[in-house]
Structures are given as C-alpha cells and as structure tokens.
Amino acid sequence: MKIAFLSFYSGLIDRGVETFVKELSSRLKKNNKVTIFKGNKEKKISKYSNLSTLLFTLKVLPKINRTKPDIIYPLNGRWQAFFCRLLALFSKSKIVIGGHAGIGRDDLFNLWLWPNTFVALSIKGRKWAQKMAPHVKLARIPHGVDIKKFNPRVKPLSINLEKPIILTVAGSEDFKRIDLAIKAVAKLPKGSLLIAGSQSEKNLSLGRSLLGNKRFLVSRFDHQVMPQVYKTADLFTLPSNSREAFGVCYLEAMAENLAVVAPNDSLRREIIGQAGYLVNPKNIDQYAQKLSRGLERDWGNIPRKQAEKFSWEKVAQDYQTLFNNLVK
C-alpha cells in the first residue's frame, strides 16, 4: 500500500502534528510504502503561514499524482485538504483527515470536504463530528506515545529548583491557561513550577512575581531530552481549555509514571482515567489542593499503565486496519 502524508512543518518544528507524522509513519513503513511530503528543511519558520502551506501543497501535488498513493493524509488543513480532496476526485486515492485542529471551524471545514474517513482523536471529537457531518465516515483513533522512549527508568535532568517540582509543557497560546497553573503553585507552601516551552511576557512576569526565581523556571528543551525533563518532575499539570485537541504531553508524562492534574472534562477523563486528579482550574484554591494531594499520594504504576493504552504500536495498528478497509 502507498501512503502519502503532507506535513509542511515536519523537520522544521516539533509540535504534536509533526510528532504524529514521524511516529506513525515509522511504524507503517514496515508493511507499506510511506512518503512524507514536507517543506524546505533550510527554511526557518517564525510563524505558521497559510500562504506557505498553500504554495507548498500546489508544488507537491504533481509529485503526489505521479506516485498514485492509495491513501493521502493532509495534515495542514484548509487549502491543503481542499486540493488533496480535489486530486482524489480524479484518482483512486482515498483521503483521510484527522481532527488535529480540535473542535471548531478548521475541523468543520475538513468535515465539509467529505473525506473518505475523518479520524477523531477522542470520543468527544467523534460525537461532535457525527453531529456536524452525519454522513461522513468517522473513526476514533487517539494520539499515541512512545512508551519505550518515555519510561520511568530514564535519568532526570539536573535543574536548580525547589522540590517538589510540578511540570507543565506548553507554548504561549492563551488557551493553555498557564497563568492558572502559576497561581495554583504559588498557593503551595513549597515546590516549584517548571514550564517547558516559551511563554508570554505576561506569564513570565506573573511567575517571577508570585514564585520567584527559586520556584519558577521557563525553558525550551529539545524534543530528544524531554524524557529527562519529565523524569525531573514530581507531578504534571496542564490546565488548557476545551480548545485542546488532545494533549500528547499528558501521555508522555504518564508514560514516565507521572500523575496528572488537569481540567475536569470528557477529553481529559478519557485520556487520564485514574492516573491523576481532575479539577476546575479556574478555582485556584481547589486547583492548588489537587496539586498538593497529587504530590502526597503514592500512585504506584497507575499512570504508566494508563499510558500503555495509547502506545504507538496500538495506534499504528488501528490506522493500518482503517487504511486496509478503505482500499479493499
């Protein structure tokens, strides 16, 4: 079977989508011919550009047409998905689109393109897609985690912060609501907040003000050392709102046997199960209380077992079954 992924930013940055393409394609290659069409490796990306992805898509479409893939999986949304769907109308290729953008306009547009299958990442996402586009074929396949790379036996980084360390992994997007995590950790009598990722000046100022340099650190880490970053922490939290499409970092944390404190909604209940505490993070006092309880409790190997349900091997097998059924 020939499978084509279109992922403009692969090799340029490491977000959830790019990790998804890398991990899934490496496993599908064992039994299929997989091609990843991606942007110029030499080009530095300062921000996500719809024009760049459009030009990239128009450039690679003739190559895709010549290779005649059985499956085309566009990852950069909107115009890329539109032109891939147009190409498929004049070929035997099947279009698969995943709900990586999260519930909202972008994935609604993808649904209206009528792909051969729309893959929701969660039960919540599938219910929404069913309501928005009842005639589109749907599947539910979550993101995965490399349980060999992220495991409890890796060595921690040496980070000069007051123990215990609470970790969050997030960029500066408002929907991540990192200010809530800062305020909650500040309520604890001891302990620090480590943020892996860039943050707004507003959050940096808030963290320095409420926690000080000995209890607050923001740093960007190479993806290769992230297993060591997780191992440095005693607890994981991410209070993002419902715009979060999935939250791969929850899986990575649990794979290293870190318990999680997260918002109490259907998506997080599906991902975290019994491997942490769920809370309304807008209630700072309750949020702080759950963080404190999470640090005090002996979790055994509950988080690790929860993460194993989302191994990339299981996810890849689900995709292989989906693709096989589409090209029968």
Give the domains, in start order, of the chain with CATH numbers. Answer: 2-144+311-326 (3.40.50.2000), 165-308 (3.40.50.2000)
What was the pLDDT predicted at 136? Answer: 96
Residue 262 · residue 269 · CB < 8 Å: no
**Do residues 51 and 83 lie in contact, with contact meaning Cβ atoms separated by under 8 Å?**
no
Q: Which two tokens stand for residue 33?
A: 């011919």
Better-scored residue on pLDDT, 44 or 319: 319
Judge contact between 237 and 261, C-beta under 8 A: yes
Convert the pLDDT of each residue in 3-46 to its tens digit. Answer: 999 998 887 777 778 889 999 999 999 999 999 998 875 455 44
Q: How many CB atoms lie within 10 A of CB 152?
A: 14
pLDDT of residue 16: 79
Beta-carbon contacts of 93 under 8 Å, excluding residues fewer than 6 positions away, are 4, 68, 69, 70, 71, 72, 87
- Return the structure tokens found at 229: 């970053």
Q: What pLDDT score does 46 carry?
A: 43
Q: Which residues pair with 262 in a beta bridge?
A: 278
The stretches of the chain forming alpha helices (DSSP H) are 16-28, 50-67, 78-89, 105-112, 123-132, 178-186, 201-210, 226-232, 248-255, 266-272, 284-296, 302-308, 312-326
Stated pTM of the model: 0.89
Phi, psi (degrees; rounded to nearest 5) at 299: -90, -5
Q: What is the mean pLDDT of residues 275-301?
A: 98
Which range has the worst mean pLDDT, 45-49, 72-76, 242-246, 289-293?
45-49
In this predicted structure, the answer to whether residue 47 has a pLDDT above a threshold of 70 is no
Mean pLDDT over residues 266-292, rounded?
97
Average pLDDT over residues 176-189: 97
**Cβ–Cβ contacts within 10 Å for residue 47, how many?**
5
Specify the pLDDT at position 306: 98
pLDDT tens per residue across span 79-104? 899 999 999 999 999 999 999 988 88
Give the chain's mean pLDDT.
93
And the tokens for 15? 């977000």
Residue 93: per-residue pLDDT: 95
| Residue 78 near residue 51, CB atoms below 8 Å | no
User: Residue 262 in 3-state DSSP?
Assistant: strand
**Alpha carbons 271 and 122: distance in angstroms, whole number:** 9
